[in-house]
Structure 1
C-alpha cells in the first residue's frame, strides 16, 4: 500500500509540475516524457523507494498501462489532426505504412542478428516491437509552441498520423513470429485469418462504427438539448475506453480500433465542439502519458542491459541511425508532404521509440516468455527518449531559422 501511495503522489506531482512548466520545457532539450522517465529511475532503481517486483505480475501491469496510454494518445491525435487529413493524404500514408513499415521491420531485425547472438524468430519479434513510430513521444515533438512556430504542418501532421496508424498495424508483424513459434504448420493460415482479417480488419470496422454512432448521437443530443457542458467534456475519454474495451473483448486490435474511432467521430463533429474536444483530450493525454514513463523507469532491467555488453549500445545506435532515415529518404519521392529534402531528413530522424515498443515487448513476453525482447526494447526506448528528446527543440528552431 505504501508503494501505491508513493506512486500516486509521485504521478500527481509530476503531472502538476510539468503541466505548469510545459511552455518552458517545450523550449528546452528536456522533454516531459524524458523527465518523467528519469524520475521513475531515481525513485526506483537508484533510491529504491518503490519496488515493482512486489506488485505481483508487473509485466501485465505495464502492458495494460501502455495499452491505455496508447489509446488515450491516439484519440488525442485523431482529434488534433485536420479533419480530413488522413483521407486527403491517404496515398502518402499508404506508402509510409505499406512499404516503409515492413522495411523498417526488416532493417531492425537484420541489425539485431548482426549485433546479438539470437535466432531469426527473436530478431523478427524484436524488430517488429520497435519498428512503429511512437505516438506518445512523437506528440511531445510535434506539439507545443516551438514545434508549431517552426515546423511545417505537413511534417507534423503526417508524422502524427503515421505514428497513430502504424501502432496498430505493427501487430501483424509482431504476431507472425509468435505464431511461428507456437505452430509453424498453421502459422500462416492463423496469421491471415485471425490476425489480418479479424484483428485488423474487424478493428477498423468496429472503430468506424463506434465513431460514427457516437458522433451522430452527440449531434442529435445537442440538437435536442439533451447534453450539458460537463457531460460533453468526458465524451472523448469515454469513447476511448469504449473502443479499447470493446476491441479487446472481441479479440481485435484495440489500439487500431481507438484511432479509427477517433477519426470517424471527428468527421461527425466540428467547429466549437471539435476545438473543445481537442483541448480536453490534450489535457487527458498529459495525465495518462507521463505516469507510464515513470512506471517504465521503475522497471527498466539495468542488470540485463549490462549483460549485453557493448552490443547493447551498438544495437541501439545502429537502430536509431538506420531503422528509419534511409527508408524515408528512399521513399520520399512518393511521399508528397515529405518530398523536400530538409523535411524528409527531419521525418527520417524523428521516428521515436517509446510506449508502443513497451506494449509489444510485453505482448511478446506474455505469449512466448522471451524477456530478451523487453530488455532490448527498453534499452532502445531509453536511448530514443534521450537522443530524440534533446534534439527536438534545437532541430525545430534550426529549421525555423533556415527555412521558416
Structure 2
C-alpha cells in the first residue's frame, strides 16, 4: 500500500456555518453526558456498551456519512494538530483521575508485576503490532513499527469504563482492576520512547551521528527519567501544600477538585516546558500526590472527579467518529479484517499468557485471558497519531491507527460487560472458601 494524500477541504466554510457546527458539537457533548449520566448503569447491565463506544457512534451519526451536520476538516485546523492538542489535555485530566483512584503506595508494593508488564510485555506488544502491520500491509519497515508503537499503550480512559462502575465492582477483584489501571496509566507515557525511536529512524539522514546514543540520552534518560523525577517532585510538593492548607484551614473542602485539575494542567505544561514527557509526568505526579494525601476520606470528591473525567474524555471519541477516514479504509479491502483480527488477538494476549506467572495479581489462565484481552487502544493512540503525523506525515499512521482504535473500542466495549460477568461467576465459583 502506498501513501495517499490526506483528504482536505478545498473550500472555505462561512463563519456562520462554522459557528453552527461548533454549537452542534457543544450540544452533542452536553447531551451525551446527560444521557449517559442517567442511563449508563442500565446500558452497562443490559445493552453491553460503554461510554467511549456510545460517544463514537454519536460522532459517526453527526459526521458526513450519516446526518452530515459537522465537518471538522472545514474548521481550518490541521487534523493532526486538532487530534494531538485535544487528546493531550484529555489524557492529562484522565490520567490524574486514574492515578488518584489507585491505593496509596501501590507502585512500591507491586513493582515486580508492573516491571514485567512494562519491561517485557509492552516491548513485545510493540514488536508484534509493528511486524503484523509490516507483513499484512507491506509498508516500509519503520513506518510499520511507528504504527505498532502508536497502538502499543493500553488506554486508561477506555480502561476506566471497564474497571469502574457497578459491573466491575460486583464481578472483578480489586487486584485485577488496580493492575489494569496502573499499567494503562504508566504505559501511556512509556510508549513515547518507542514512538520517538521510530520517528528518529524515519527522519534520519546520512549526516546523522549515533542515533541510538541520542535516543538513549535525550529520550530515554531525560524525557522519560526527567518526567518521572519532575512529576514526582510536583506531585509530592502539591500534596504537602494541600495538607498544610487543610491544617491551617486556608482551603475549602470544595476546592479539592479544582486543585487536582489545576495540578494536572500545571504538570502537563511544565513537563513540556522542561522538555520531558508531560503525559508521563502527570501520572507520576498524581501517584505522588495520592501517596501524600492517602488515607483521607474523599469519596464525594472522587465521584465528582469521575464525572469531570467523563465530561472531558467523551468529546474525543465524538471527534474521532467525525474524522473516520471511511474511503481509505475501504481501499484496504479485506486486509482490514485480517489486520484487525490479527492485532486484537496477537498484540497482547500471547505476551500476557507467556509472562502471567510473574504478574502476582494474575493467578491462573482465566485471569490471564481477561487481562490479556482488555488492553484497549484509545485516547493515547489518538494522541500519538497526531504527534506522528505532525513530525513525519506518514499517512498510514492515521489510516491504520484510526481503524485499530475504532475496532478496539467496538470489540472490547461490547465484550466488557458479558466477559466481566463471566469471569466474576467463574471467580466466585472457584475461589477458596
Equivalent runs, 1:48-127 vs 2, <5 Å: 48-56=68-76, 57-127=78-148
Match of 1:130 among 148, 151, 159: 151
Is 1:16 aligned with 2:34? yes
Q: Which residue of 2 aligns with 1:391?
A: 415
Is 1:188 aligned with 2:202? no
Q: CA deviation at 1:14?
A: 0.8
Report the Cα distance in structure 1 between the residues aligned to 2:398 and 2:245, rounded to whole angstroms.
46
Instruction: Tell me if the contact between 1:178 and 1:368 (Cα under 8 Å) persists in the aligned partners.
Output: yes
Q: CA deviation at 1:276?
A: 4.1
Instruction: Kindly provide the CA deviation profile for residues 170-221 of structure 1, in whole angstroms up to 9, marking residues without a partner as x.
Output: 0000010111121253321221121111111111111101101110000001
Instruction: Tell me if the contact between 1:352 and 1:384 (Cα under 8 Å) persists in the aligned partners.
Output: yes
Report the Cα distance in structure 1 between the residues aligned to 2:162 and 2:43, rounded to whole angstroms.
11
Instruction: Kindly provide the CA deviation profile for residues 243-271 of structure 1, in whole angstroms up to 9, marking residues without a partner as x.
Output: 11111222211110010000000011134
Q: CA deviation at 1:90?
A: 0.5
SS of equivalent residue, structure 1 residue 336: coil
Is 1:37 aligned with 2:56? yes
Q: Which residue of 2 aligns with 1:319?
A: 343
Report the Cα distance in structure 2 between the residues aligned to 1:352 and 1:129, rounded to whole angstroms.
12
Match of 1:334 among 342, 358, 371: 358
Report the Cα distance in structure 2 between the residues aligned to 1:212 and 1:122, rounded to whole angstroms.
39
Structure 2, unmatched stretches of 5+, are: 1-18, 429-433
Q: Which residue of 2 aligns with 1:47?
A: 67
Is 1:154 aligned with 2:175? yes
Instruction: Tell me if the contact between 2:80 and 2:385 (Cα under 8 Å) persists in the aligned partners.
Output: no
Q: Where is the helix percentage greater, Structure 1 or Structure 2?
A: 1
Q: Which runs of 4+ in 1 moved over 6 A?
A: none
Report the Cα distance in structure 2 between the residues aligned to 1:72 and 1:113, rounded to whole angstroms.
34
Instruction: Tell me if the contact between 1:134 and 1:353 (Cα under 8 Å) persists in the aligned partners.
Output: yes
Report the Cα distance in structure 1 between the residues aligned to 2:280 and 2:151, rounded to whole angstroms.
17
Report the Cα distance in structure 2 between the residues aligned to 1:20 and 1:190, rounded to whole angstroms.
51
Q: CA deviation at 1:234?
A: 0.8
Instruction: Tell me if the contact between 2:49 and 2:413 (Cα under 8 Å) persists in the aligned partners.
Output: yes
Instruction: Kindly provide the CA deviation profile for residues 136-169 of structure 1, in whole angstroms up to 9, marking residues without a partner as x.
Output: 1111011100011101111111011000000000
SS of equivalent residue, structure 1 residue 234: helix
Structure 1, unmatched stretches of 5+, are: none
Q: Which residue of 2 aligns with 1:7?
A: 25
Instruction: Tell me if the contact between 2:103 and 2:294 (Cα under 8 Å) persists in the aligned partners.
Output: no
Report the Cα distance in structure 1 between the residues aligned to 2:263 and 2:304, rounded to whole angstroms.
13
Instruction: Tell me if the contact between 1:37 and 1:293 (Cα under 8 Å) persists in the aligned partners.
Output: yes
Instruction: Tell me if the contact between 2:99 and 2:287 (Cα under 8 Å) persists in the aligned partners.
Output: yes
Match of 1:26 among 44, 53, 63: 44
Instruction: Tell me if the contact between 1:113 and 1:119 (Cα under 8 Å) persists in the aligned partners.
Output: yes
Using the size of structure 2 for normalisation, the TM-score is 0.91
Report the Cα distance in structure 2 between the residues aligned to 1:149 and 1:318, rounded to whole angstroms.
32
Q: CA deviation at 1:372?
A: 1.0
Instruction: Tell me if the contact between 2:79 and 2:386 (Cα under 8 Å) persists in the aligned partners.
Output: no
Q: CA deviation at 1:232?
A: 2.5
Match of 1:288 among 312, 316, 319: 312
SS of equivalent residue, structure 1 residue 21: helix
Report the Cα distance in structure 2 between the residues aligned to 1:2 and 1:316, rounded to whole angstroms.
36
Q: CA deviation at 1:273?
A: 4.6
Report the Cα distance in structure 2 between the residues aligned to 1:294 and 1:284, rounded to whole angstroms.
16
Report the Cα distance in structure 1 between the residues aligned to 2:139 and 2:171, rounded to whole angstroms.
43
Report the Cα distance in structure 2 between the residues aligned to 1:58 and 1:366, rounded to whole angstroms.
9
Q: Which residue of 2 aligns with 1:170?
A: 191
Instruction: Tell me if the contact between 1:75 and 1:281 (Cα under 8 Å) persists in the aligned partners.
Output: no
Aligned residues: 404
Report the Cα distance in structure 1 between the residues aligned to 2:395 and 2:30, rounded to whole angstroms.
30
Q: CA deviation at 1:277?
A: 4.1
Instruction: Tell me if the contact between 1:132 and 1:163 (Cα under 8 Å) persists in the aligned partners.
Output: yes
